[in-house]
């Protein structure tokens, strides 16, 4: 993360070779932003650029590209990632906005391929999906630790 002088509240996203995008920079003001347009106007590719900058790896490179780049500037900070095509798929490096994008991948990046979106469309039971990021074993262990502590206090009284 490096400091920049982007104006407060404005988000600027630059993308190169992400999805169908060759090269673009978009500034978003605070509030609701609607991406409207006909098919094949790179709305999904722009959303993939946002996803990449935030930390997701559910992002594709442009078909003819060996590497791509995305940068997010927000509140004077700059977050950037480089994408590189490898034999195994796409490799990512850089400094994304989130250290762990799991929750964003599950519940915020609702592209057609999103697991939660598909589960809702199929009317599946969402409990397992919603509970996936919750450390239930850690919670159970903490409950047991506190019960043992309470027993110890009760015995001393």
Evaluate whether residue 118 is within a structural domain.
no
The tens digit of pLDDT for each residue in 13-23 reads 999 999 999 99
Quote the percentage of the chain above a pLDDT of 90. Answer: 62
The predicted structure's pLDDT at residue 140: 93
Range of the domain at 61: 2-97
> 45 falls in which pLDDT band (50, 70, 90)?
very high
Handedness of CA 144, 147, 151, 153 (dihedral sign): positive
In terms of C-beta density within 10 A (0-12 exposed, 13-18 middle, 19 or more buried), how is residue 109 classed?
A: buried
Answer yes or no: is pLDDT of 5 > 60: no
Cα–Cα distance, 2 to 46 (Å, whole number): 23
**5 vs 49: which has the higher pLDDT:** 49
| Domain presence at residue 6 | yes
Q: Residue 19: inside a domain, yes or no?
A: yes
pLDDT digits (tens, 9 = 90+) for 65-108: 999 999 999 999 999 999 999 999 999 999 999 999 988 888 88
Burial 2-18 (b: 16+ CB within 10 A, else e): eeeebeeeebbbbbbbb
For residue 33, what pLDDT is reported? 86
* Residue 147 belongs to a domain: no
Whether 30 is in a domain gets the answer yes
Residue pair 81/97 in contact (Cβ under 8 Å)? The answer is no
Q: What is the CATH number of the domain that holds 79?
A: 3.40.50.300
Does residue 60 lie within any of the structural domains? yes
**pLDDT at 54 > cutoff 50:** yes
Quick check: is 20 in a domain?
yes
CA nearest to 6, candidates 22, 36, 28, 38? 28
The tokens for 131 are 């509970």
The mean pLDDT of the chain is 90
Count of domains forming the chain: 1
Q: What is the pLDDT of residue 4?
A: 46
Q: What CA–CA distance (Å, rounded) separates 61 from 105? A: 18
Q: Does residue 32 lie in a domain region?
A: yes
């Amino acid at each position: 993360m490096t400091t920049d002088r982007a104006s407060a509240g404005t988000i600027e996203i630059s993308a190169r070779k992400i999805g169908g995008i060759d090269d673009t920079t978009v500034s978003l003001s605070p509030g609701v932003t609607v991406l409207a347009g006909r098919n094949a106007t790179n709305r999904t590719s722009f959303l993939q650029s946002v996803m990449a900058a935030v930390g997701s790896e559910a992002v594709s490179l442009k078909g003819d590209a060996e590497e791509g780049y995305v940068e997010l500037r927000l509140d004077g900070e700059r977050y950037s990632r480089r994408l590189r095509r490898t034999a195994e798929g796409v490799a990512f490096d850089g400094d994304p906005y989130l250290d762990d994008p799991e929750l964003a991948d599950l519940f915020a990046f609702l592209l057609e391929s999103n697991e939660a979106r598909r589960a809702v469309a199929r009317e599946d039971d969402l409990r397992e999906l919603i509970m996936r990021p919750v450390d239930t074993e850690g919670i159970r262990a903490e409950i047991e630790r506190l019960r043992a502590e309470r027993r110890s206090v009760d015995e001393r009284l």
